[in-house]
Structure 1
Amino acid sequence: MQDNQPRTITPDTLPEVITRYLKAHRAHDAATAVTAFTDDATVIDDGNTYQGTAAIERWLGRSATEFSYTIHLTGTQQTDTAHYIATHHLEGNFPGGTIDLRYQFTLRDNLIEHLLIEP
């Protein structure tokens, strides 16, 4: 295996904190989803950066109400013990109607320290 190359894993081998976040995110449960993040966590989504749990909770609440969509996990990968990728297929009433997004997680102390969401 090459160094730092993501390898495919099964969804049930994702760390609990990522699974908890993804389930809460799909359920539009911002209060539970935010508990998966470190206090100083950063989320980058759609070109915007959200720093800290208060900003992340506002982002989660807004993203849950801005558009209606379905989200399906289509793939999971692990680079190392702190870096995971969960690929999702979204369909909804947002511009374009469908998109595949890569949720790139960095963990610290069993919490999400950094989340980058991009196509």
Structure 2
Amino acid sequence: MSTQLPNPIATFFEVSNGADSALLAQCFAPGATVHDEGRTHQGHAAIRAWLQEAQRLYEYSVEPLEASQQGTSIRVLARVVGNFPGSPVQLEHLFRLSGDRIASLEIG
């Protein structure tokens, strides 16, 4: 991937692809939220549980394709391949940063 991503976002994609989920605490703010598949997950423990469950269910990999930034919001278009209907798909990941951490993430 040639897209340069801020460290917390790059770490999120590394964890999504199998790196140690303990690294999530380094990239998400303590009260961060993730909105995915119609559900919202808040805080480190809930985000970690969501990601581990998604990895278990879908056995996926994700490849960021392009990114654009407006202020503290960063939109990343990523190719996701896994054992789910319609795979592969391109999903938009909308990150909002607060300092050097992810404050929120919406996947759609």
TM-score by length of 1: 0.81
CA contact (8 A) 2:8 2:27 kept: yes
Check the 8 A contact 1:34/1:56 in 2, yes or no.
no
Tell me if 1:86 matches 2:71: no
CA distance in 2, matches of 1:117, 1:96: 16
The residue aligned with 2:88 is: 98
Q: Which runs of 5+ in 1 are unaligned?
A: 1-9
Distance of 1:103 and 1:42 partners within structure 2: 13
Within the candidate set 39, 50, 59, 2:50 is matched to 59
Q: Once superposed, which parts of structure 1, at least 4 consecutive aligned residues long, lie more than 2 Å away?
A: none
Q: Following the alignment from structure 1 to structure 2, what is the Cα–Cα distance between the partners of residues 104 and 45?
A: 11
Question: Structure 2: which 5+ residue stretches go unaligned?
Answer: none
Q: Residue 19 and residue 105 in structure 1: after superposition, are their counterparts in 2 closer, same or farther (change >3 A)?
A: same
1:25 is aligned, of 11, 16, 19, to 16
Identity %: 30
Which amino acid is 2:32 matched to?
A
| Larger Rg computed on CA atoms | 1
Deviation at 1:69, TM superposition (A): 2.4
Residue 76 of structure 2 contacts residue 93 of structure 2 at CA under 8 Å; is this kept in 1?
yes
Cα gap change, 1:34 to 1:95, in 2 (>3 Å): farther
- The C-alpha deviation readout for 1:27-77, integer Å capped at 9, x for no partner, is 253221342101100000011100111110100111111112232211111
Q: Is the 8 A contact 1:87 1:101 kept in 2?
A: yes
Aligned residue pairs, count: 107
Aligned Cα root-mean-square deviation (Å):
1.5
Whether 1:11 and 2:3 are equivalent positions in the alignment is yes
